[in-house]
Chains A and B, each alone.
Chain A
Amino acid sequence: MDLTWLPKPSPHVQNTEWRSFKARARRLNGFAQLTNLYIAAFPMPVPDSQDLRSLVRPDRVHHSVYSDPALFELELDRIFGRTWLLLGHASQVASPGDWFTTRMGRLPVIVSRDHSGAVRVLINRCTHRGALVCHEPSGHSRAFVCPYHGWGFELDGRLTGVPVPQGYGDQRQQVFAEMGLRAVPRVELYRGFIFASLSPTGPDLADFLGPLASSFDDLVDRAPDGEVEVAGGVFKHTYEGNWKLVLENHLDGVHPNHVHISSVHVARDAADPGQPEKYADISIRQMRQNGAPEPVWEAIGMWTSDWGHGYMGDYHSDGRLVVGLNNPVFADYRKRLEQRVGAEEAQRILGVTRWNTIVYPNVSFMSQFRQLRIVHPLAVNRTVVYTYNLRLKGAPEQMFRDTVAFSNVVNGTASWVLTDDLEVYGRVQKGLEAAQPEWVNLARGVGGDVPEGELLRGGTGTSEIFIRRQFDAWLRYMCADSSGSAA
Chain B
Amino acid sequence: MEGLLYEILMALALGLFGAVLFSAIGLVSGTDETTTLAPLTMLVVLLGAPPAGILTFFLAGAVAKHMTHAVPTALLGIPGDTSATALIGDANHLRRLGVPHVALRKMISGGAVAAVIAVPLAVLFAVLLAPFGDVIKQFAPWVFLCAAFTIAYFSAGRWASVLALLPFVLVIVALQTLTAQYGVKLAVSYFLGIAVAPLITSLFSMLAPAERERMRRDQYRVFSLAPDMKGWRGYFPNPLRVINKRQTRMTAMAASVTSATFVFSPVAMTVIMGELIGARIKQAYERLTTVITARNGVTESTYIAEALIPLIAFGLPLSPVAAGPAAPLFNAPPRFTVDSVSGEVNNLHNLLNNWEFFGYGMMAVLVAILIAYPFTMNFAHQAASFVSRRISHEAVIATFIGLVLVVGIWEGGLLGLLVIVTIGLLGGLLGRFLGFNIGVQFMGYYTAVLSVPALIALLN
Chain A bound to chain B:
no
Q: List chain B positions with a Cβ less than 8 A from chain A.
A: none
